[in-house]
Amino acid sequence: MGKLHIVGGGAIGSLIAASSQKNGVPYDCYPRDMKTMPSCAHWQNGQTTALKPAKPSPIVLPKSDVLIIPLKVYQLKAALLQWLPYLTQQPTVVLLHNGMGGLEIARDLLGGDYPLLLATTSHGALKVSTSSGFHVKYTGVGATQIGAPNVNKPSPQSLAALSQIAPQLASAIATLDKALPPVQYQNNILKALWTKLSVNAVINPLTALHNIQNKHIAKPEFEQSRISICNEFTQVADAYGLDFDALSVHENVLSVAKATGENYSSMHQDVAHGRQTEIDAINGYIVDMATKKGIPVPENTLLVERVKALKL
């Protein structure tokens, strides 16, 4: 089993670290700021897991190890540039973030044939500041979907098939599944990422703009906006060969909003704490992709403008 190397000290990365600790998977964390790295995780059953001390700087990774980058899309380029000199053995790199655009950045810096995995997770985690330091709180049980975008088409239909042609990637997925299960292989990971994008495109900006929890998105007052976002998303996605149905997209958004009802979205939290948001990688990505196809997306365009106009 390879070792996991987790970049940053954010909520999801810290959750992976804590779950690795609990499940006996070797790992190290490399936060940007050592002072804000969580020291422990609090699980839903009341148990606490202490994290091992973080590492101050990158090291050269062997091919069998896995570098996980659970950062914002706008942080990805700087992180990859920092790690690039330490990736000479070509260990597996896992991109785990909201929004889109990370694959293009990674391919530009690593090349189109690098052993790369794209992942999206529905696990919920919150980084909490207390008088004794930073902790991470597990707020919602979920699953991680993962795929190999650089493997030659047609994509292997199963993890067993992937292991035949890319055993390094299959081994990395197995390690991640032991660290924070369940990890589900997706032969069409881009479809899964676009599905996640459709949810984020509705929940994130609306919760940020109206200062509300996810559950309030399901209220009738937001129906017209929800439907418009989903219709525009579907037009754009289908223009790129993805097969979505606007009604099903909207139903899925409502389902996720209710299932995560007590949570505050990541964009809400970014705005609340004066941080840069991921609006460019979510609704902004839809606008960019629509522009390339000549598709008008007024609702998404307005949301981008409104979120950027919020005072940080």
Catalytically annotated residue among 35, 55, 191, 196: 196
Residues 41, 18 contacting (CB under 8 angstroms): yes
Q: Nearest 5°: CA angle at 276, between 233 and 265?
A: 55
Q: Please say if 22 is a catalytic residue.
A: no
The two beta strands, 4-7 and 27-30, are: parallel
Token pair in block for residue 66:
């896995």
Determine the 3-state secondary structure of 85 from DSSP: helix
Question: Which positions ≥6 away from 259 have C-beta within 8 Å?
Answer: none
Round to whole Å and give the CA distance between 164 and 189: 19
Token pair in block for residue 198:
């459709």
Round to whole Å and give the CA distance between 303 and 206: 8
Query: Count of residues for the chain?
Result: 312
Round to whole Å and give the CA distance between 153 and 97: 24
Residues belonging to the active site: 196
